[in-house]
Amino acid sequence: MKNKRFLLGIMVFILGMTVAGYAWGQTLTITDIPPRLNNKYMAFEAYNDDVDVIGCRIITNDEIITAVRISNGRASVPLWEIDSNDVIRRYTGSGILDIEVYVFNSETLDGNEDELALMEFEAVRFSNGTATISFFDTIYYERFE
């Protein structure tokens, strides 16, 4: 069965929020992604007890998410969080986050896409909103295709 929980969670997360422009935020870079996932698209959720972060290229007010293309076994994904005024802004924090990365065939996500794969990472350390990890750091990986 295809898993659509990422987009459902993101749609609830951004419902009624305001986008603070389309500026690129800080990034999570994932390297060593298997070649079969090249030319696919990824977006993610990251969280701990204090913050929820979305990883994607753009979030719009009409609840459309633009994912980031995987190329040459890597992707650098901008990070966004919701501030106390319900405004989506770039994530610039430091700390440890758990991450669920979702892979899709399409770049534009509106909640109707099937996920091709799920990667989970635990205890990823961010510094000023930036981190780099390897696919080999996954604690869980599943392909749905």
- Asked if residues 37 and 143 have their Cβ atoms less than 8 Å apart, the reply is no
In 94-128, which positions are buried (b, 16+ CB within 10 angstroms) versus exposed (e)? eeebebbbbbbeebebeeebebbbbbebeebebee
Q: What is the pLDDT of residue 63?
A: 72
36 lies in which domain range?
5-143
Please state which of the ranges 61-65, 67-71, 90-94, 132-136 shows the lowest mean pLDDT.
Answer: 61-65
What does residue 128 show for φ and ψ, rounded to 5 degrees? 50, 40
Tens-place pLDDT, residues 19-66: 434 444 489 999 999 999 999 999 999 999 888 888 998 877 667 889
pLDDT band at 10 (very low <50, low <70, confident <90, very high): low
Span 78-94, average pLDDT:
84
Q: pTM to 2 decimals?
A: 0.81
More confident residue, 13 or 101: 101
What is the Cα–Cα distance from 4 to 13, expressed in whole angstroms?
A: 14
What is the Cα–Cα distance from 110 to 31, expressed in whole angstroms?
A: 26
Sign of CA dihedral 141, 9, 41, 104: positive
Total of domains in the chain: 1
Count the Cβ atoms, other than its own, within 10 Å of residue 18: 13
pLDDT for residue 16 is more than 80: no
